[in-house]
Structure 1
């Protein structure tokens, strides 16, 4: 019986098994072990049913679906009595050009070879046989892909639901039919979702065997897998031969992983690294990494050195969170000696903190509890805040909103905000970098402040906006200084008295602001008009002189020269008072650009100026005139100019400065002088973006999948930053040019710098160059430079990193497999005075 159709057929398999013979016994009430327990769906251009033989043959793009499995082939044969399914391609002839010849020859090719799909997994082969009674099967010349790798087998036999035997198996991440490299094994046993046992295992480059193992056991699970970390071998000028990164990685579940590794050095001992990550999506994420060694790798002293870094972020509920971060080191030169990351080595302060935050959006309240420590690695001093509590009530109307439909009154524009802050600060200062003596000072402070502000609901004269603000602050102290003299002419000394003390301060500010508009119509090309927006402000600031003894915050004494000296009892009390007028002008230049029928507004640049006059200041009543010019319209470049102009003559320390126009200076036109100038130009340009193949596109879910361990030897604080950032761009460059002139003090200082922070160039299809440098143009000196080359080797890649100058002199060569799961298959070569981490002098 033959029927040609393109339709789908859904048949109960039990009925199919019984429809050929009416005399077959009726099925039992329960299902038999050899019967399928669901529906089988199939289609084909031609399908034949042979009732006597109980055989079904599907031909022409045949497809069979069973549960989540799909089988496609040019021909599929089902033998119901034998419970077997055979899928195979059919031979076909084609004319192809003969290798090395211009004529064509007739060859036989197989068309429609079977493809088996189960969920996201796909298996291809020349011939497939499956027994759906015993669950066993066989695949001839089978091949499949899993997580970027390609598996092939001469013969694949399924010996059960969880066991697969492979003869003549191979594995590679190279997609070529003749791969550049592959692992080969004559016998393999695969325990599904468990492990793969192979013997022997041979690594081939092309057809040349390079490495051999008598047997090997590999994990056969998706995602992260526990196992031994492959070490790196190399040689250092100071430490001799070394073996780095020998350890174990443990991934018990999707929420936690940990690892430990050790480095052995021929001349200096060992260094241990450890790390752990944990993450629960939308709830918490963190890691702990560290290292310990009993060798100072630079100075040869047998001392124990260590570091620990902790990071934790947790969302307790939508309005509550906890953040923890901490750095702990054994000595102040740990990162300077052992890190190859330039920024980490130059960072001379370690900061650790833990912050608990809670907010109440409906009432505009928020609470923050913080514990922190800042340690200076150069001086050994530290500041601890144990704890610091802050409560903030965001700005809101003092008298509420006006009733619906009514007109706002003037008092509806009065707003208030409240802030409360309390902390205990412990400061420790070390007597010297080599001294163990230190002094400690403890301070307990609490303060709260109330800010009242008002924006005039209408405009004065129809164009002038008035806004006012009053800040009231009260500080509470648990101790204060008491200054005294033991005799009338003796020195002033102090003592600390404990108790409850309060300090009240306030300040007031009023600001007048408006906007002026100017319009020019030059009609220059696509530029139809240029608009100039001028925003002048005039503000008055008032704050009394809280150093006056009548406030009780300072104590005054007369020194031997008859000059009054005032001492602050609490620290940080404002002194001198402010009664100042401040003038500021903001200029914004915009352009109206017309392109065809489209027009758009473009911001060109801004120019901001400001100065002030303080009536209460004893000297320098007139503040410097400062201005800044910044471009906005260049998409790939930003230019900025900062300048400070002084109205005073330069004067030696201790002398009161004179106005430039004093002593006849006005006759010479001396009213203002340049005191400081800085010019900066940032250029960021790039070429066209290349389209990556689909298999190289980053996954949208990859960033949120699993924690993924980072060993300390691989973390940013140990390794230099990446030289190559974006391989999809044909080229890119980031260049900063800066010029600085400082004439505020004598002698004046000039600096000219050029910084090339990210230059990448695709030299050819496979070669890429990266360059970074910092140049001192005035001294004509190269402060720092880094040259990197990258070579694409198809399924492999090679990178050479070279720092030829400075303390960071080093070179590093690496050739490795691109695939993430085999990146440890690589060849490395380091060079440098401290070749252990690849930095330092190369000679």
Structure 2
């Protein structure tokens, strides 16, 4: 055979062999020829032996695709010329398993079916179907359709950067690079889904056409930000290119040129984005924007401000601090300048107001002997009316009086002595009146027995029962207007003084059933000034002169009282049945006698006499105390020799129990019925006091009826000027009874809810068969809910009869008070006419569905016969969103507020607010 023929024969045989091998390979893997290489440096017709699906890389990241040495195979042309290059081995062992089956091929390919798991060097990949090439270190994972066509066992990739779910996953063990489609991963409070993603070896991700949302229904989120391009640094941040918002699958014309979403496991400093809005009186505004300072783990600070286009502005500083097992608190400082109207016009006004709020609580474990507490809520009179946040806080508008208190107390260890310092401020916002008391120092000693023996031998002696205590106070206060507080004089305008009180008492048991108590009380007041009065003949009026010095004003009295308890039992006759077992009556009478000298006599000097001739030529003599304006008052006039009587009653009943035939239960008929009255034997006139009564009845569990009343015991006449005056004639002496009701009142509150009107079966017993529990029908797996309403229906509960249990939670709270007192004087009857005053307030809430809620609070003015104030709120839970609307429809503070925002704190600035207030002059019909 010619040499050329031999050459052609050898070449033909090689071609046939190649074709035969190719046919065998195609018969084993019929679709391998469709595979496109993941390596950008490998020729397109090379084979990866991984998948039967073509893979298209992102154009923008194709240069960073999986490296060429990851394949472990070169092109067929190069393979026929040069030997295969040896690649470096893996640094760790690859562990893999599958629930169904594992198939190996001669080319070191592994096919895993049924919940396969691959683990390598801290990485874990789970999927229902996994294909792995051990030579090229490449792995491909994908889910598998079930019997109904749903994809199950989607790939889930885990490493130190986080956990990622996807539709398909390509990963290289050596380079730690991967290509992911339709990724699902949680980053911070949100979810990153969809798109085409390239995972880099440093755990960063490059994404195209992804979505970011805080809705946990990430398969079909209610809203998301469509990201054209994004770079993801797991657990750190996401940086995006142009992005736009999609709401309910509808793209909105709300776009951003770039975005930055930071993530952190600990709090950090950052910018607080302001809220944009408009108001009719103050114009467009930016408010609640500023900077948040994460100072350290114990304290933070938020500085925010607000500015309006018509000149109004404000600043605010808020901080919270805490130190475990020691103390915690927060403070809020705010200053606002409000400008309304146009400058130069009559309606122009400019107001400056501020607010100081501080709360501090000390842990009792820190120092049991010393404590510091603070509750400060001070605002200028116009702050509430000009602060936008106060319009929708019913407590701020209805609160007419604000109080602030700071207190520090120290107790001497193993002693009965304690010291405290207090500062108090009470303000009445209606007329800007301030009552400031600072500083207040208190020294107190608990009860001690000064004559008690340390080593007791024998019976206790009578003088060992004597006990005493002490309390002393220094107080400095002023009552003034808000704008005058800084102009006041500490000596002339402020009232100050010291107060000492020493009570001494002892209780003895006499005749076995009688308790006898003897007591003595001494009180001393120390002042630095007194006010003297005299008649000015030239001006024909009384003038005052303040004298400064050191003055003691003291008084004392002694008393002796006795009390006991009397028990009465009554058993009903058998003819009335045996339901009532017994009725018990507890009667507690007491009598006391107290005596004191007349401290208004001239020898004490606590009261003075002023005589003058008035304009009608009459000589007038009146007594006054130079210390009546003192901070602790002055001593009373006249001798004291008073006998006091009081009685108390308690009525209870024992009845057979409905649950236990042998048991009984106790029912309170009258919890307490008391009355007290006194007679002053040393007085010249008006010796009888008024009669005071009170009653307490327990109607139901948690609902009590309590009422107190005062009965006037004297009659009235008209003086020379036609004014009613009380005269020394008891009512029973002129046939008008023991007393006339002069004042009484009561109040009650009750809450109605779903359980209030439910019928209760009184025949229930322990052997009753339990009712079948409500069951919840599972949702149809083939039906995908379109919105949260469908998901709400999946939570519907059904009873044993198969019908849905329909229940709308609701509650209604009613607070009512009524008072009776003297009104105008009836000259014909020579009696005061009675006058009723009433107050009614009510609040309630109702949940129409699981996510719809409505609540309100209101008060009714009986004099004006209209609703004085009402605040209503409607809220809607939109799954990952929340919507609320609040409005005040009546009264001088008519206003409304509409708010919708994302729940997540990360996207808290993704919101919309619409406000209106009394400045807007809205008319409600």
Q: What is the TM-score of this pair, normalised by structure 1?
A: 0.75
Question: Per the alignment, in what secondary structure is the counterpart of residue 625 of structure 2?
Answer: strand
2:639 aligned with 1:639, yes or no?
A: no
- C-alpha distance in 1, partners of 2:277/2:99? 63
Is the CA contact 2:823–2:835 (under 8 Å) kept in the aligned structure 1? no
2:508 aligned with 1:423, yes or no?
A: no
2:206 aligned with 1:141, yes or no?
A: no
2:210 aligned with 1:163, yes or no?
A: no
The CA deviation at 1:209 is 0.7
- C-alpha distance in 1, partners of 2:697/2:479? 44
2:632 aligned with 1:567, yes or no?
A: no
2:805 aligned with 1:758, yes or no?
A: no
- Tell me the residue number matched to 1:463: 513
- C-alpha distance in 2, partners of 1:476/1:261? 49
2:355 aligned with 1:308, yes or no?
A: yes
Alignment of 1:805-820 (within 5 A): 805-820=890-905
The CA deviation at 1:807 is 0.8
2:690 aligned with 1:624, yes or no?
A: yes
- Tell me the residue number matched to 2:191: 150
Aligned equivalent of 1:451, options 503, 507, 530:
503
The CA deviation at 1:631 is 3.6
Deviations 1:71-118 (A, max 9, x none): 76567899888778x695653532x4xxxxxxxxxx253237536487
Aligned equivalent of 1:286, options 330, 334, 354:
330
- Tell me the residue number matched to 1:740: 819
- Tell me the residue number matched to 2:37: none
- C-alpha distance in 1, partners of 2:471/2:273? 55
The CA deviation at 1:421 is 1.7
- Tell me the residue number matched to 1:673: 740
Sort the Cα spacing of 1:319 and 1:146 in 2 relative to 1 into closer, same or farther, 3 A.
Answer: farther
The CA deviation at 1:527 is 6.8
Sort the Cα spacing of 1:533 and 1:758 in 2 relative to 1 into closer, same or farther, 3 A.
Answer: farther
Sort the Cα spacing of 1:729 and 1:489 in 2 relative to 1 into closer, same or farther, 3 A.
Answer: same
Aligned equivalent of 1:333, options 375, 382, 387:
382
Is the CA contact 2:170–2:178 (under 8 Å) kept in the aligned structure 1? yes
- Tell me the residue number matched to 2:416: 364
2:656 aligned with 1:609, yes or no?
A: no
Aligned equivalent of 2:855, options 770, 795, 809:
770
Is the CA contact 1:287–1:312 (under 8 Å) kept in the aligned structure 2? yes
* Equivalenced residues, count: 750
Deviations 1:262-311 (A, max 9, x none): 44434x32322312213123323221320221525798435351303141
- C-alpha distance in 2, partners of 1:293/1:156? 52
Sort the Cα spacing of 1:823 and 1:599 in 2 relative to 1 into closer, same or farther, 3 A.
Answer: farther
- Tell me the residue number matched to 1:583: 645
2:241 aligned with 1:199, yes or no?
A: yes
Question: Per the alignment, in what secondary structure is the counterpart of residue 441 of structure 1?
Answer: coil
- Tell me the residue number matched to 2:659: 596
Sort the Cα spacing of 1:321 and 1:240 in 2 relative to 1 into closer, same or farther, 3 A.
Answer: same
Q: What is the TM-score of this pair, normalised by structure 2?
A: 0.69
- Tell me the residue number matched to 2:594: 541
- Tell me the residue number matched to 1:255: 298
Is the CA contact 2:506–2:518 (under 8 Å) kept in the aligned structure 1? yes
The CA deviation at 1:66 is 9.8
The CA deviation at 1:733 is 0.9
Is the CA contact 1:546–1:573 (under 8 Å) kept in the aligned structure 2? no
Question: Per the alignment, in what secondary structure is the counterpart of residue 649 of structure 1?
Answer: strand
Aligned equivalent of 2:261, options 200, 218, 235:
218
Is the CA contact 1:56–1:77 (under 8 Å) kept in the aligned structure 2? yes
Is the CA contact 1:515–1:533 (under 8 Å) kept in the aligned structure 2? yes
Sort the Cα spacing of 1:796 and 1:465 in 2 relative to 1 into closer, same or farther, 3 A.
Answer: same
- Tell me the residue number matched to 1:397: 449
Sort the Cα spacing of 1:840 and 1:451 in 2 relative to 1 into closer, same or farther, 3 A.
Answer: farther
Sort the Cα spacing of 1:792 and 1:381 in 2 relative to 1 into closer, same or farther, 3 A.
Answer: closer
The CA deviation at 1:731 is 0.7
- Tell me the residue number matched to 1:265: 308
The CA deviation at 1:510 is 3.4
2:707 aligned with 1:655, yes or no?
A: no
- C-alpha distance in 2, partners of 1:680/1:257? 44
Question: Per the alignment, in what secondary structure is the counterpart of residue 353 of structure 2?
Answer: strand
Question: Per the alignment, in what secondary structure is the counterpart of residue 892 of structure 2?
Answer: coil
Is the CA contact 1:581–1:613 (under 8 Å) kept in the aligned structure 2? yes
- Tell me the residue number matched to 2:22: none
- C-alpha distance in 2, partners of 1:526/1:480? 70
Question: Per the alignment, in what secondary structure is the counterpart of residue 715 of structure 2?
Answer: coil
The CA deviation at 1:808 is 2.0
- C-alpha distance in 2, partners of 1:658/1:806? 48
The CA deviation at 1:54 is 9.6
The CA deviation at 1:763 is 3.2
- Tell me the residue number matched to 1:190: 232
Sort the Cα spacing of 1:343 and 1:583 in 2 relative to 1 into closer, same or farther, 3 A.
Answer: farther
Sort the Cα spacing of 1:589 and 1:732 in 2 relative to 1 into closer, same or farther, 3 A.
Answer: farther
Structure 1: tracts of 5 or more residues without a match: 1-31, 97-106, 694-727
Alignment of 1:35-114 (within 5 A): 88=141, 91=144, 93-94=146-147, 96=148, 107=149, 109-111=151-153, 113-114=155-156
Is the CA contact 1:735–1:754 (under 8 Å) kept in the aligned structure 2? no
- C-alpha distance in 1, partners of 2:203/2:300? 27
- Tell me the residue number matched to 1:104: none
The CA deviation at 1:554 is 2.4
- C-alpha distance in 2, partners of 1:275/1:255? 17
Deviations 1:316-349 (A, max 9, x none): 73432333455565x6433345442454345555
- C-alpha distance in 2, partners of 1:147/1:93? 32
2:609 aligned with 1:556, yes or no?
A: yes
Pairwise CA RMSD: 4.6
The CA deviation at 1:732 is 0.8
Sort the Cα spacing of 1:360 and 1:87 in 2 relative to 1 into closer, same or farther, 3 A.
Answer: farther
Q: Which has the higher strand share?
A: 1
Is the CA contact 2:820–2:836 (under 8 Å) kept in the aligned structure 1? yes
- C-alpha distance in 2, partners of 1:617/1:33? 114
Question: Per the alignment, in what secondary structure is the counterpart of residue 727 of structure 2?
Answer: coil
Structure 2: tracts of 5 or more residues without a match: 1-87, 614-618, 757-773, 777-806, 826-831
Is the CA contact 2:532–2:626 (under 8 Å) kept in the aligned structure 1? no
Deviations 1:451-494 (A, max 9, x none): 223232x3x33322233332223333333445567899987655
- C-alpha distance in 1, partners of 2:245/2:267? 23
- C-alpha distance in 1, partners of 2:428/2:712? 35
Q: Which of these two proteins has the greater Rg computed from alpha carbons?
A: 2
- Tell me the residue number matched to 1:829: 914
Aligned equivalent of 1:323, options 373, 397, 414:
373
- C-alpha distance in 2, partners of 1:56/1:529? 89
Sort the Cα spacing of 1:231 and 1:657 in 2 relative to 1 into closer, same or farther, 3 A.
Answer: same
- C-alpha distance in 1, partners of 2:550/2:488? 34
